[in-house]
Amino acid sequence: MEETTQEQQQWSRLPREILITIAKCLSKTAAAARLDTLRLRSVCKSWRSSIPTFNQQQETLHFPLGLPFPISPNPNHSLRGRFSLAQSTIYFLQPAPSSPSSSPSKSSSLPWLLRVEEKDAEKGKWKPLNPLSKVSTDSIPKWFPKSLNLLDLRFSQIGVAYSIRFVHEDARTTGSNKEDEEDWTTMRIKTLMEQSSSLRVDATLAEEFKSTLILRVAVSLSPWSGSDDYAVMAIHNQGKLGFYKLGDEKWIPISDESKYHDVVHHRGKFYAVDYQGGAVVIDSDLTAKQTVPPLSGHGCGPRGGQIKFLVKSGDDHLYLVDKFPGSKSVVHLEVYKLNETNKKWERVNHLNDQVFFVGDDCCFSVSTQDFPALKGNCIYFPLTCYNFYGEEDFCDGVQNLENGKCGPVELFQPDHMPMFTLPTWLKSKPPASKK
């Protein structure tokens, strides 16, 4: 008994430098660092005083980061501004143990999928994003909680997504209206769509728009070893690759004739996949080397409609998800796993009990071993569907690789809907959010 008491005092008296070493081990990514820091600071007095707050941690990168604009040198327009690299984090939320002594380490309830972007670190303000789709983030659904407390919930970080937005120079100088800053490209899309419907598209505007549009971003960084390793690979100008290293003045275009759909950082290198499924590796010499040949039987042109996604699985393999878009009845996904020795994509019909989330701008994977309430070998993705008024809309879709069934989660896996809407265990919280 006495020994236990001694132990109690021991851990709370862990020397500061050891605690900081542990904190560094916990946070392999900058995205995880914030939450891990909060958790450690919440344990007891001495830990709270030993671990500096996330905002005080000088060596950690704080998003959003400003990057130079444009990526291609000598653009044929005079648009000025900069890029802003934002980081969003995807979490699974589960109820925290109400009585610590009876807490199982793995909760059996279905987790709630939450994606947030930090808006104001000082004030703890966050912007919720749609986990899978980058559209329809303007309005938050009515049921969404106004605030959450990390102490009441089990947060598991399951993914990190990066996006690059263009910030117009005017917005930067006035600097007053933050929302306008973010919406420059969105505003141009609307203008261009209006113009195209009246068949009077402004060519300069179209060029400007193209140079500000970043399709996908992959980031590699090790937050604790200084910022020197931090690098960005972006797909811009409808399929071209550009590389940027923190501190550099300019982007370095990766010269290549292909048209890329997705890029990830995997095992210390950047991998990009083109519209035919061919994959290249970009190493420190910044040249794209063909490493996987295109998928066979892919005669379709760059506008064939299929979209290729790269997914890093939890067991450290690289997968290619080929999305055949369309409305409910047509849409389906085909999945290929990279055979590292033969350098080939191999079609698979199971994911080793992994679950994939293939969003418009981010892909991530979880294991059913970590989240037993999930159904394995399923892929969730945004699905085009039509709402009550017949307007085009997005809903959450699922494909079960085992039986090939594919459709809206609401219809095909109604029991999994709490993952995308508010779960009952969160609803039943005391009505603290009510005014």
Partner 1 sequence: MASSIENNNEKLTLKSSDGEEFLVEKHVALQSTLLQNMLDSDCSSADVIPLPKIDARTLALVLGYCKKHADASSSKQGELNSFDSEFLKDMDMGALFNLVLAANFMEIKGLLDIAAQKIADTIKDKPHQEVREIFHVENDYTPEEEAAVREENRWAFEGFP
Return residues touching partner 1 (CB under 8 A): 3-4, 7-8, 10-12, 14-15, 17-18, 21-26, 36, 38-45, 47-48, 53, 96-97, 100-101, 103, 105, 116, 119, 123-128, 137-140, 144-151, 153-157
Q: How far is the CB of 188 from partner 1 (least distance, A)?
A: 21
Tokens 């007053």, residue located:
176
- Are residues 266 and 312 in contact, defined by beta-carbon separation less than 8 angstroms? yes
Task: Report d(CA 421, CA 355) in Å as an integer.
Answer: 18
Task: Report d(CA 123, CA 116) in Å as an integer.
Answer: 15
Q: How far is the CB of 392 from partner 1 (least distance, A)?
A: 22
Q: How far is the CB of 237 from partner 1 (least distance, A)?
A: 30
124 or 301: CB nearest partner 1: 124
15 or 372: CB nearest partner 1: 15
Task: Report d(CA 270, CA 240) in Å as an integer.
Answer: 14
3-state DSSP assignment of residue 283: coil
For residue 254, what are the β-bridge partners? 241
Q: What's the token pair of residue 93?
A: 């939320």
124 or 304: CB nearest partner 1: 124
Q: How far is the CB of 62 from partner 1 (least distance, A)?
A: 17
3 or 391: CB nearest partner 1: 3
Q: How far is the CB of 307 from partner 1 (least distance, A)?
A: 27
Q: How far is the CB of 191 from partner 1 (least distance, A)?
A: 23
3-state DSSP assignment of residue 381: strand
Q: How far is the CB of 183 from partner 1 (least distance, A)?
A: 13
Q: How far is CA 9 from CA 4, 155, 186, 293, 320, in A?
A: 9, 27, 56, 59, 50
Task: Report d(CA 404, CA 349) in Å as an integer.
Answer: 8
101 or 329: CB nearest partner 1: 101
3-state DSSP assignment of residue 263: strand
157 or 291: CB nearest partner 1: 157
Measured at the CA of 112, the angle between CA 366 and CA 312, to 5 degrees, comes to 20
Q: How far is the CB of 148 from partner 1 (least distance, A)?
A: 5
Q: How far is the CB of 174 from partner 1 (least distance, A)?
A: 21
What's the sign of the alpha-carbon dihedral 33, 37, 38, 39? Answer: positive
22 or 385: CB nearest partner 1: 22
* Other beta carbons less than 10 A from residue 17's beta carbon: 9
Task: Report d(CA 336, CA 361) in Å as an integer.
Answer: 19
In a 13 Å sphere around the CA of 4, the CA atoms on its Cβ side amount to 1
Interhelix angle 184-197/203-212, nearest 10 degrees: 140
Q: How far is the CB of 313 from partner 1 (least distance, A)?
A: 18
303 or 435: CB nearest partner 1: 435
25 or 300: CB nearest partner 1: 25
Starting at the edge strand found earlier in the chain, the sheet holding 240-245 runs 214-220, 231-236, 240-245, 252-254
143 or 388: CB nearest partner 1: 143
